[in-house]
Amino acid sequence: MALIVHKYGGTSLGDLNKIRHVAQRVAAAKDQGDDVAVVVSAMAGETDRLIRLAYEINPDPPPREVDMLASTGEQVSAALLAMALNAMGYPAISFTGGQVGMLTIGVHRKAKIREISAERVFEKLRDGMIVIITGFQGVDIHGNITTLGRGGSDTSAVAIAAVLKADLCEIYTDVDGVYTADPRIVPTARKLDTISHDEMLEMATLGAKVLQSRSVEFAKKYDVPLKVRSTFTNDPGTLIAEETGHMEQTTIKGVTLLRDQARVNVLDLPNVPGIAAKIFKAIADEHVNVDMIVLTENNYGGTDISFTLGIGDLKAAHETTQRICSDVSAKGVTVEEDVAKISVVGIGMQSQPGVAADVFDALGSNGINIEMISTSEIKISCLISSKDADHAMRVIHDRFKLGEPQVATEEVT
Amino acid sequence: MALIVHKYGGTSLGDLNKIRHVAQRVAAAKDQGDDVAVVVSAMAGETDRLIRLAYEINPDPPPREVDMLASTGEQVSAALLAMALNAMGYPAISFTGGQVGMLTIGVHRKAKIREISAERVFEKLRDGMIVIITGFQGVDIHGNITTLGRGGSDTSAVAIAAVLKADLCEIYTDVDGVYTADPRIVPTARKLDTISHDEMLEMATLGAKVLQSRSVEFAKKYDVPLKVRSTFTNDPGTLIAEETGHMEQTTIKGVTLLRDQARVNVLDLPNVPGIAAKIFKAIADEHVNVDMIVLTENNYGGTDISFTLGIGDLKAAHETTQRICSDVSAKGVTVEEDVAKISVVGIGMQSQPGVAADVFDALGSNGINIEMISTSEIKISCLISSKDADHAMRVIHDRFKLGEPQVATEEVT
C-alpha cells in the first residue's frame, strides 16, 4: 500500500462534470489500495473572476484582502470534490491550507511555505478517508490567509507530498506529460517518459508551462518523485526523478521557447571596475529580474552591456538605465522588443562539445540570426528575433532528432 | 465616541456598486467619530448558488462540506467591502468567523455560537481600523468551518455586538424598519419607532421577516440595543429595546401572517391519559415541529386532537399519525392544507381583555372563519383559511387603527 498525492489544476475542475470525473480518478487510485491525498486548484476561471472583482472595486487592493478573496476559489472546489467522492461512496473530507497547518512566511500573494503540520491529514488517512486540501494557500503566523502566487498549487502538492513522505506526487493537468517541445509549434514533438529534476527545472523556467518551477525545486530538495499526467487520458505521463546512469546517453531532453522578451543595450561605457554593478544595482532596486547578460568591448575601446528581461519590465528598466546614463558615463541606451529566447535542455550536454555547435549551425544554416548566447551545465539559450521563434524550435528539434523514439529510461527509481 | 456594529444582508451587497454604497454608509459612521465593526452576509444569490452546486453534485451532501462551501460567500463579500473602504481611504480589514474566534457548538449547518474571543477585533479597532467580519459562520473546537443556518448573519452581528459591548447594533436591510403589518398586504401599515424585544421576538417568529428570531433572543439576553434600518434610505429605522413605561399605552404593535401552514386532525381518541404524549412523541421522533395544538371532547365522548405545522412537514406528520392510528385507538386522521396563521402582537395585551374579543369580532363580522386559536402573554394567533389571509390582516390592522400615528416612544433608553 502506497501513499499517493494527486494534484488537479483548474481546467481539470472546470465544471461539476469535470469534478465528477476527477472524483472517479481519485476513487480508482483508492480502489488500488493506496492512501490518497488530493490537492486542488480553483475551478477554471474562478481565480481570474475574483481578482477582476478586486481590481474593479479597488485599483490597488490590499494584498491581504486579495488573498482573503482569492483563497475562496480552492475552498469551493475542495468542498465540491469531497461531496462528489462521498456521493460515490468514498468517505472524503476537505481542508483549507490553514486547517492542515500550512504555515507560510513572506508577503501576501507571494507567500512561501515554511512548515506543514499534517497531523490532521494523517489522522484522516488512517481513518481510511480521502483527504482533499486546497492548493495555493496557507496562513501566516497570525492566522491571516496567504496565497503562494499563481501556480502555487503545484508547490502545495509537492510540499504536502514531502511532509507526508508520499511515494508519489502526481500532477494532473490538461497535457499528458512533458514534451521535447511545444507540440502546437513542433508537430513531431515527443512525450518524455522520464526527465531529471534539474532538466525539468530548466524546462519549467524556460517556458514549458506544465509545472511551476518552484514545485520542481521543492521536489528536488525533498526528493519527492513527481509525475505529470493528463486528467483526461490514461497515459502514464512523465516521471520527474533523480537522474541515473541510463539518462546519460540522452543528451537533449527538449527545446523550449520563452516569448515576450526584450533587450536593453547600454552603449559605450568606460572600461572601469564597478560600472556593471552600478547598473544592475539600480535595476534591482526597481524589482526587475534580468535574465541574460552580455558584456563586450566595442571598437572604440569602451564596453557595451546588453541584457534581456521580460517585456513587462522593459519600461522600468529603460527609464532606470536612461536615468543613470550620465552617472555611469554611458553614451546612450537602446532597446529592442521583438525578441524571444530559445533553449535546448539536457543533462550531459556540457560533456558533449558538439551540442552547442549543432545548435548554432541549425539556426545559422536556416537563416536565423543569434543575438545573444548563454549557457549553463544543462542548457544552451539563444536570443533570436520573435519572428524566427517557431521556425527555430522546429529546426533544432529536427537537428537533434527529438521526435524519434529514444532508449527507454522508464526504469529509473 | 461610541462603538457601533453594522450588519448588511445579501441584498445590500448584491453587486460591486451596492458594496461601494455600503462602504459609504460605513465610512459615514466612522466620520462621526465612532468605532465601527461590520458583519456581512454573502452577496445576494451567492449562498443559493453554492448550495445548488452542492446538491447537484451530491443529493445528500455531507453537512461539514456544505459549510466549507457555503462559508466562502461571506468571505468574498467581506474582502470586497474591506477593499472598497480602503479605496476610499478608510483602513479596513476583514476576518472570517474563525479568525475572530467565533467558536460554535452543535451540528453543521445549524451550529450555535458558544463564545467569541474578539481580541483581534478590539486590537484592530484600537488601531483605528474598520473591522469587517463574515456573518453566518464560525469554527468548531477542531477548526472545522460551521454555519449558523439561514439568517445566521443577524445572530452573528448581535453576538459580536454583545462581546464588544457595542453601544448599538444596526441591522441594515432592504426595508426601513419593523411595520405594524406587511405593507405589501396592508397599504396603511405604519413603521414602528420602537418595539420591545419580546414583541419583536413574536413578530419575527410569526412571520415578519425583517430579523431572525435567534438574533432577537440574543439581543434580549445580552441587552444589546438593536436597530433595523434600510441600507438605501436615511430613515432612522426601528429601535428594538427593553420595554419602558411609555410602551404600555400601545396595546397592539403589529399584525403578522404565517402562510404555508397545514393542520392535522386525529379523530375520536379514547379519553385516557398518555394518548396525546404518544402522538406527539411519535411526531417529535420525525423531527417535526408542531405549532398550535387543540384538544377537544367530541360529541361521541371521545377526544379530537388537532395541531398545525409548516406545510413542508405535513407528509411526515400525516404518515406518522396514520401509522400509530390503531396504537392510540383513533378513528382516523384528516389533514387540511390551505390554512394560514394570523397573529396580533403587543405587550400588555393580556391585561386588556377586550383585545381578543376585538380580534374575533373583526374577523367574524367580515365573514372570516376562525379554525383554531392560541394565545400567549403578548400575542393572539388564529388559524384561518389561506384565501382569507390578506383580507384578515387588513381588517385587524384597521380595527386597531395601527395605521394611525401613535404616541412617540422614541426616547426609550
Q: Nearest residue on chain B to A77, judged by CA atoms?
A: B69
**The cell 560600472 sits on which residue?**
A275
Give the DSSP letter of residue A102: E
Test mutation, B50, B51, B67, B76, chain A, max A CBs within 10 A: B76
Torsion of CA A144, A220, A229, A182, to 10 degrees: 100
> What pLDDT, on a 0 to 100 scale, did the predictor assign at position B353?
67
- Give the CATH H-level superfamily of domain A3-174: Acetylglutamate kinase-like (3.40.1160.10)
Does residue B411 have a pLDDT over 70? no
pLDDT at A250 over 70: no
Q: Is the Cβ of B101 closer than 8 Å to some Cβ of chain A?
A: no
- Specify the pLDDT at position A88: 98
Tell me, what's the pLDDT at B212? 83
List CB contacts (< 8 A) between B53 and chain A: 16, 76, 80
Q: Which of A125-129, A221-225, B24-28 has the lowest mean pLDDT?
A: A221-225
Q: Is B124 strand, coil or helix?
A: helix
Q: Is the pLDDT of residue A249 over 60?
A: no
Say if residue B217's pLDDT is above 90.
Answer: no
pLDDT (mean) for B385-413: 77
On chain A, the residues whose CB falls within 8 A of the CB of B82 are 62, 65, 68
| Residue A251 scores a pLDDT above 80 | no
**Which has the higher per-residue pLDDT, A265 or B410?**
A265
Locus of grid cell 477593499: B83
A215: cell is 514545485
Over the range B31-52, which residues count as b (16 or more CB within 10 Å of their CB) and which as e? eeeebbbbbbbbbbebbeebbe
Q: How many CB pairs (< 8 A) connect A and B?
A: 110
Domain spans of chain A?
3-174, 255-399
Three-class secondary structure of residue A299 per DSSP: coil
Q: Is A27 near chain B, with CB under 8 Å? A: no
Of A58, A76, A86, the CB nearest to B62: A86
- pLDDT at residue A207, as a whole number: 65
Q: Is the pLDDT of residue B149 over 90?
A: no
Contact check, Cβ <8 Å, B75/A79: no
Confidence at residue A140, expressed as pLDDT on a 0 to 100 scale: 96
Rounded mean pLDDT, A318-337: 92
Tell me what the pLDDT averaged over chain A comes to. 89
pTM: 0.81
Residues 103-162 of B with CB under 8 A from A: 143-145
Fold of A255-399: VC0802-like (3.30.2130)
Identify the pLDDT of residue A284.
Answer: 86
Check whether A344 has a pLDDT greater than 80. Answer: yes
pLDDT for the residue numbered A351: 67
Interface residue A14 vs chain B (CB under 8 A): no
Sequence-ordered strand ranges (E) for B205-273: 226-230, 238-240, 254-269
Please report residues of A whose CB lies closer than 8 A to that of B83.
54, 57-58, 61-62, 65-66, 69
Give B58's contacts in chain A (Cβ within 8 Å): 83-84, 86-87
Per-residue pLDDT band for A350 (boundaries 50, 70, 90) equals low
pLDDT of residue A410: 35
Q: In what order do the strands lie in the sheet with B332-345?
A: B293-297, B303-310, B254-269, B332-345, B379-385, B372-376
Rg of chain B (C-alpha set)? 23
pLDDT (0 to 100) of residue A22: 98
Does B69 contact A84 at a Cβ distance shorter than 8 Å?
A: no
Mapped onto helix, strand or coil, the DSSP state of residue A303 is strand
pLDDT, position A151: 67
Residue B246: which pLDDT band, with cuts at 50, 70 and 90? low
pLDDT at B310 over 60: yes
Cross-chain Cβ contact A59/B87 below 8 Å:
yes
* Residue B173 contacts A, CB cutoff 8 Å: no
Question: What mean pLDDT is reported for chain B?
Answer: 89
A268 versus A210: the higher-pLDDT residue is: A268
Contact at CB, A83 and B58, closer than 8 angstroms: yes
d(C-alpha A115, C-alpha A104), whole Å: 7
Question: Which of A381-385, B242-246, B298-302 is predicted least confidently?
Answer: B242-246
Mean local confidence (pLDDT), B364-372 = 91
- Decide if A386 touches B, using CB distance below 8 A: no
The neighbour count for residue B155, using CB atoms within 10 Å, is: 26
